Structure 1
Amino acid sequence: MARNIGSHYTAHRVLGRGSAGTVWLGEGPDGPVAIKLLREDLAADPDLAERFAHERHALLGLEHPHIVGVRELVVPSGETGAGSAAAAGPADGPPAGDGAGGEIALVMDLVRGPDLRTHLTRERRLAPAEAVAITAGVASGLAVAHAAGIVHRDVKPENILLDTSGEQPRALLTDFGVAKLIDEPRHGGKSGVVGTPDYMAPEIVEGLPPRAAVDIYALVTVLYELLAGFTPFGGGHPGAVLRRQVTEQVAALPGLPDELWELMQQCLAKAPASRLRAAELASRLRELYPALRGLPPLDLGDPTLDEERERPADEELVSAAPARAAVPLVRGAAPDSERATHTRMRVPDADELAGGAHGTARAPRAPGQPRAGSARHSTAGARRRRRLAVTVAGAAVLAALVGWLLSSGGGADGPAEEGGDGRAPAAEIAVVEGPPTS
C-alpha cells in the first residue's frame, strides 16, 4: 500500500528491513528513490529527531561514487524545535515537508542491485580480486567521510550495496551516520552500543570512543569474510564474539598471498593506531589488485560441516541454536599476547600478580617451584602438618579404646583399670598429647 513521505515522495513497497528501520521503493520529483523509514520507537524519540535535523548537512553532504547519496531528510515538524525546518531537503533546496505520522525518513539514491550479504550468501566465497576490488571502493568512500569528520560505525555486508547497472558491479556504502545518531547519549544518560558484534572493533567493546579506525577494522573484517566465507571471530553467543574481538588473534587464511595477508593483519590490529587510514588502505589494495587477477576463491572447506562431523552424537541437541548465514562457528585462535596494548593499560608486575599473603592471583612458575605465599613448602608448615598427623592418629587410638571399654562393661560406672577412676592408662594419654617438645 502506498504511503506519502513528506510532501514530495511516495513509498510503494518494502525493499528490505534492517536493525534501524525499513527501506521502501519510492517515487519522487526526479524519479525512483529508496526511502529508509526509521523504526517507530526511534522516530518517537524527540531528541533523535532533533539530532537528525542538526546533522542534515553531514548526511546530505557526502558525495562519492562509492557512497549511497542522501537526497533529503524528513523529520516530524513538531520535534525539531523553534525555528527549525520540519524536513531537511537538499543543502541548497527547500524542505521536503512534514514527516507523516511522526516519521523520520532518509530519501536516498536507488541502487539497482543486491546488498553484499545477499551476494556472498549466493557465492559463498569470492575470488581475491573481486573481494579486494569491492573493499578498495568502499575504503575510498570511507576516506571522504573520515575527512569530513564522519565515522560510519556499522560497516558490514548488509550496509554495502552492489550497483549492477553498469558493466562492472560497483560497491556503495549506505547508512552513514545512522548508527552514530542513534547511539548518542540522550540527556546525559547512557545508551547501548550500536553495531554488529562480528565487525565491532576491540576499542568499542571496551567502551572507548569510536574513531575512524573502527571503520577500517570492520571493513577488513568484511574482506576476510568475503575471502573465507566467515568472519574471524564470529559464531556463538554475541558476548563470546565480543570477547574474542578483544582477546584472540585473527587466524591466517591458507593460500592467500603474503602481501595481502600482511595488509589485513595490520588493519585487524588490536591497537587502533596500528591500522591504516582509509585512503592508504584503498591505495594499497589497488596496488595488489593486478597480481590477484585469475586467482580462484580460497579452498578452505566448510567449517560448519567440519563442526558437525566432529561433534559427538549426544551433543547435537545441545547445539541446536541456529547459526547466522555465512558466519558459522569458528574455532578460537591462540590468545593475543599483546591484548593490553590497544587500551594502553598498565600491566601488573610479578608482586602484584602474586597477591601477597591474602592474594588470589599467582605469578606463573616452573613445575616444582614453590609458589609465593604458600605454607606448603615452608619448615613451619611441615612441623604443623606432623603435629596434626600425630594428633589425628592418637584420637583414632582413643576412640578405639573407649569402644572396647564400653563393649566390656567398663566406663565411668564399671571397674576401672590401673587406677579405678575410669581414665585411660597414662601411657595412652601421652600418645594423644603428642611427642615431647624439645
Structure 2
Amino acid sequence: MARNIGSRYTAHQILGRGSAGTVWLGEGPEGPVAIKLLREDLASDQELVGRFVQERTALLGLDHPHVVAVRDLVVDGNDLALVMTLVRGTDLRTRLDRERRLAPEAAVAIIADVADGLAAAHKAQIVHRDVKPENILLDMEGPLGPGGAHPALLTDFGVAKLIDTPRRTKATKIIGTPDYLAPEIVEGLPPRAAVDIYALATVLYELLAGFTPFGGGHPGAVLRRHVTETVVPLPGIPEELWQLLVQCLAKAPASRLRASELAVRLRDLLPLLAGIPPLEVDEPGPEESEQAPAYDEQQYTPAADEPRRRGAVPLVPGSAPDSNRDTHTSMRVPAPDELAGGPLGTARAPRAPGKPRPGSARNKAAAVRKRRITLGAAAVLLCAAVAVGGWLAAGGGDGDGAPQDSENSAPATP
C-alpha cells in the first residue's frame, strides 16, 4: 500500500528491513528513489531529529560516483527519512552469498571503487562507521570493470552517526556490526576515518576467503579477536596484496592507509591479479559452527563459535530483506582486563581444502584419534614383548640364558 513521505515523495513497495528502519521503493518529483524510513521510536527522539537536521548539509553535499547520493532528508510528523538515489542492481552481500567468494581481480576492483567513495567522504569530514557488504551496492546497469565487476557504490552514510546519540547509547556501548569493527572502537575510542579502512579491508578479506578474518561465534568473542588476535595469510594471493591487507588491518589506526592511497594501491595491483581464480580455502565446518546461546549485552563471556550472522539492508529492487544480522548492534565495551586475555594469537586460520583448520574441533578430534592410534600401537607392541618374554621364560632358553641344545646345534665343548 502506497504512503506519502512528506509532501514530495510516495513510498510504494518495501525493498528491505533493518534494525534502523525500512527501505522503500519510492517516487519523487524527479523519478524513482529509494527511501529509508527510520523507526518510529527514532523519529520521536527530538535529540536525534536535531542531529538529523544538522547533518543535512553534509550528507546532501556528498556527491561522488561511488557513493549512493542522499537527495533529501524528510522530517514530517512521525516520519524521519533519507531519500536516496535508486541503484538498479544488488548488494554485495547477495552476490557473496550466491558465489561464496570472488576472484581476486573482481574483489579488488569492487573495493577500489568503495575506497574512492570513502576518500570523498573523509575529505568532507564524514566517517561512515558501518562499512560492510550489505551497504555496498553493485550497479548492474553500469559498465563492467576489471574481472567483470560492476561499479560499486557505498550507501547508508550518516545512519550510524544519527543513531549513536548520547541518550541512546551510553559511554559503554558500541554501535556497529561486530565482524567489521576496528579495534579502537571495541576499546571505546571515538571513530575516525581509519575505522572505515579497517572495515573495508575486512570486507576485502571476506570477498577473497568467503568469511571474515575475526568473525564467527559469540559477538563478545568476535570483539575480543579484533583486539587480541592477528590475521593469518590467505593461500594463493600475491604477496603484494597480502601486505596491503595486513597494513589496513593493523591494530594501530595510524598504521593504516588513507582511503585515497588504498584506492590507488589496489588499482595498481589489478594487472597482477588478472586470471587468478577464486581461492580454494575451506570455510569453517559444522564443528566450528555450533549454535551459541543468545548474547547478553550485560556480560562479556566469549563462547563457542556460532554461525556467522548475515543479513542485508538493500536499497535496490529484488534484493533479499534483512535477516538476522542487525545493521547496528548495541554491545558493551569489554573491560581492559577482558580484552587483555591470553597471549596474542591467530584468528580462525584458513585451511587447505579437505584439511582441518588448526585449533578447530575437527583438528582437535583428529589429534585425539592420532593419540589413540599411537597408544593402541604401543599397547600391541607391549603385549608382544610380554608374550616373547613369557615364551623365553617357559622353555625358550636354559636357566642361565645359554641357548638350548637341539639336533641341529653344535655340541658344546667340554
TM-score, scaled relative to structure 2: 0.69
State the one-letter code of the partner of 2:165.
E
Structure 1 equivalent of residue 309 of structure 2: 324
Asked if 2 retains the 8 angstrom alpha-carbon contact of 1:183 and 1:191, the reply is no
Alignment of 1:178 with 2:159, yes or no, is: yes
How many residue pairs match? The answer is: 299
One-letter amino acid of the counterpart of residue 226, structure 1: L
Look up the match of 1:73. 73
CA contact (8 A) 2:211 2:283 kept: no
Cα 1:224–1:52 shift into 2, 3 Å: same
Q: Which residue of 1 aligns with 2:143?
A: 167
Alignment partner, residue 331 of structure 1: none
Tell me which residue corresponds to 2:232: 251
Partner of 1:336: 344
Match of 1:127 in 2: 103
CA offsets per residue over residues 58-109 of structure 1, 9 Å max, x none? 110100000000100001xxxxxxxxxxxxxxxxxxxxxxx1x411100000
- For residues 200-235 of structure 1, the C-alpha deviation after alignment (integer angstroms, 9 at most, x for no partner) is 000000001110000000000000000000000101
Q: 1:113 aligns with which of 63, 79, 89?
A: 89
Q: In structure 2, the residue corresponding to 1:67 is in which secondary structure?
A: coil
Q: Secondary structure at the match of 2:109?
A: helix
Residue type of the alignment partner of 1:229: G
Q: How does 1:207-218 map to 2 (within 5 A)?
A: 207-218=188-199
Q: C-alpha distance in 1, partners of 2:305/2:242?
A: 34
Question: What letter is aligned with 1:183?
Answer: D
1:287 aligns with 2:268: yes
Tell me which residue corresponds to 2:16.
16
Q: 1:113 and 1:192 mapped to 2: Cα distance? A: 34
* Counterparts in 2 of 1:188 and 1:289: CA distance versus 1, 3 Å: closer
1:42: how far off?
1.2
Structure 2 counterpart of 1:267, from 229, 248, 257: 248
Counterpart of 1:172, as a letter, is L
Look up the match of 1:224: 205
8 Å contact kept, 2:216–2:308: yes
Q: Residues 308, 210 of structure 1: CA spacing in aligned structure 2 closer, same or farther, 3 A cutoff?
A: closer
In structure 2, the CA distance between the partners of 1:336 and 1:175, relative to structure 1 (3 Å rule), is same
1:302 alignment partner in structure 2:
283
Equivalent pair of 1:183/1:192 in contact (CA under 8 Å): no
Note the C-alpha offset of 1:186.
3.7
Question: Match of 1:283, as an amino acid?
Answer: V
On the 8 A contact 1:121/1:325 being kept in 2, the answer is: no
Query: Over residues 226-251 of structure 1, what are the superposed CA-to-partner deviations in whole Å (9 max), with x where a residue is unaligned?
Result: 00000001011100000000000012
Work out the CA distance in 2 between the residues paired with 1:146 and 1:200: 18
* SS state at 2:276 partner: coil
Aligned to 2:112: 136
Aligned residue type for 1:69: A
Return the alpha-carbon distance in structure 1 between the equivalents of residues 92 and 139 of structure 2. Answer: 10
Give aligned-pair identity as a percent: 72
Please list, as runs of the form range in 1=range in 2, the aligned pairs for 1:236-247 lying within 5 A after superposition: 236-247=217-228
Q: Which amino acid aligns with 2:344?
A: D
For residue 191 of structure 1, report the CA deviation from its aligned partner: 7.0
SS at match of 1:291: helix
Q: Over residues 103-140 of structure 1, what are the superposed CA-to-partner deviations in whole Å (9 max), with x where a residue is unaligned? A: 11000000011111111000100000000000000001
Task: Give the whole-Å Cα distance in 2 for the aligned partners of 1:60 and 1:186.
Answer: 26
Cα distance, 1:3–1:286 mapped onto 2, change above 3 Å: same
Partner SS for 2:24: strand
Paired AA for residue 66 in structure 1 = H
Please state how far the C-alpha of 1:187 moved relative to its aligned partner.
9.9
Kindly state the Cα deviation for residue 46 of structure 1 after the two structures are TM-superposed.
0.8
State the match for 1:40 in structure 2.
40
After TM superposition, give the deviation of residue 194 of structure 1 in Å: 1.2
* CA contact 2:216–2:307 (8 Å) conserved in 1: no
Distance 2:308 2:289 in 1: 12
- Residue identity opposite 2:249 in structure 1: L
> Partners of 1:123 and 1:189 in 2: how far apart?
39
Deviations 1:369-407 (A, max 9, x none): xxxxxxxxxxxxxxxxxxxxxxxxxxxxxxxxxxxxxxx
Report SS of the residue matched to 1:72: strand
SS in 2 for 1:302: coil
> Structure 1 stretch 11-20 or stretch 298-307: which is displaced more?
298-307
Offset of 1:190 from its aligned partner?
Answer: 3.9
Question: What residue number does 1:233 align with?
Answer: 214
Contact kept in structure 2, 1:184 and 1:191, CA below 8 Å:
no
What CA distance in whole angstroms lies between the structure 2 residues aligned with 1:130 and 1:222? 13
Give TM-score scaled by structure 1 length. 0.65
Against the structure 1 CA distance between its residues 248 and 15, is the aligned structure 2 distance closer, same or farther, given a 3 Å change threshold? same
Matched, 1:157 2:133: yes
Q: Return the letter of the residue paired with 1:161.
A: L
SS at match of 2:52: helix
What's the RMSD between the two structures over aligned residues?
Answer: 2.3
Deviation at 1:188, TM superposition (A): 10
Report what 2:25 is aligned to. 25
* Greater strand content: 2
